[in-house]
Amino acid sequence: MKPIGGYFEWEFPTVQNRSLHEGAVYLNSGRHALEYILKGIGNASQLWIPYFTCDAVLEPLKKIGIPWKFYHTNEKLELAESIHLQDGEYLLYTNYYGIKDAYAQKIQETYGNRAIIDNAQALYCPAQKHHQFYSPRKFMGMPDGGLAVTSVPLTVSSLPIDCSYDRCSHLLKRTELIPAEGYSDFKANSKKIAESPLSQMSQISRHIFATIDLDCIKQKRRENFEYLHKILASTNRLEIPSLDSFACPLVYPYWSKCGNELKKKLIAQNIFVATYWPNVLEWTGQNDLEYEMANHIVCIPVDQRYGKDDMERIIGAIL
């Protein structure tokens, strides 16, 4: 029976009549969204995955018992060579930094329902016919959350609904404190999500996601990205696709010869840049391109909390 009265909960004003990806299944993380897709497919004999990606993609493979094989990417963040899939094999492509929408679509056109697009860094990339998954909490403050869009859906109602009231501490601390003071909470809460079973998205995250101005987030990120690119393009070793070819970036990837030193320099000035992905340094050797990219691509924040003055501060620190 529904309770009436008592103290107030955290209230969220819902934005009505909008949906980012029609038919998306709301789950508790991006890796769980991949697990959901793989369970729906059911007959995968092997998954091809890029060396240059997060080791979180291995967790659902280990859980389900699907073997994997690595492939290399080139300097454009595209397949280094064509892969001919055998019966039962699937290919995972990572939409890097949210700037490879056009190539992700090409992958789906080439491999059809044997392609799975990792859009964890590309929340706004339009969903195609078959399989893709998203991680909205990389783009906004949510304690959990993943989206799966697939042509082989499972029965969602059979999945439990996750609870995230005990995973909000990093969000609350980030509101009132400096990032460093909540970082240990962020790591601990991320670990809790990884150890949780495949579940539906928590009610807290659903409410937060329903309040977000998605158009504003997209516009601000694109504006910040474009401002940085005008200044940094000439010194960026990474070829950035046309801004018209992708919907919304996660970060501005700046490939610098002194990437590691630049990261330390920026962090010392309270410009926090993440390293994507340290596991690549274990999977590859120093002569591999992926090793070089993991070491030297600096992921510069462009998110909706910042504007032109912040981008100028970043540029000043880099140049």
- The predicted pLDDT at position 16 comes to 58
**Among 20, 27, 96, residue whose Cα is nearest residue 276:** 96
Round the average pLDDT of the chain to a whole number and report it.
94
pLDDT tens readout for residues 66-101: 999 999 999 999 999 999 999 999 999 999 999 999
Domain 25-211 sits in CATH at: 3.40.640
**Strand bridging mode 251-255 / 297-301:** antiparallel
pLDDT tens readout for residues 249-302: 999 999 998 888 999 999 999 999 988 899 999 999 999 999 999 999 999 999
pLDDT tens readout for residues 96-149: 999 999 999 999 999 999 999 999 999 999 998 899 999 999 999 999 999 999
How many other CB atoms are found less than 10 A from the CB of residue 84? 5
Q: What is the pTM of this model?
A: 0.95
Provide the H-helix boundaries in 167-213. Answer: 169-176, 179-195, 203-211
Q: Where in the chain is the domain with CATH 3.90.1150.10?
A: 214-318
- The predicted pLDDT at position 17 comes to 56
- The predicted pLDDT at position 18 comes to 65
For domain 214-318, the CATH class is: alpha beta
Residue 53 has pLDDT above 90, yes or no: yes
Q: Kindly state the percentage of the chain with pLDDT values over 70.
A: 99
- The predicted pLDDT at position 180 comes to 86
Cα–Cα–Cα angle for 271, 274, 278, rounded to 5 degrees: 150
Residue 19 has pLDDT above 80, yes or no: no
Q: Where in the chain is the domain with CATH 3.40.640?
A: 25-211
- For the chain, how big is the Rg over CA atoms in Å? 20
How many other CB atoms are found less than 10 A from the CB of residue 305? 11
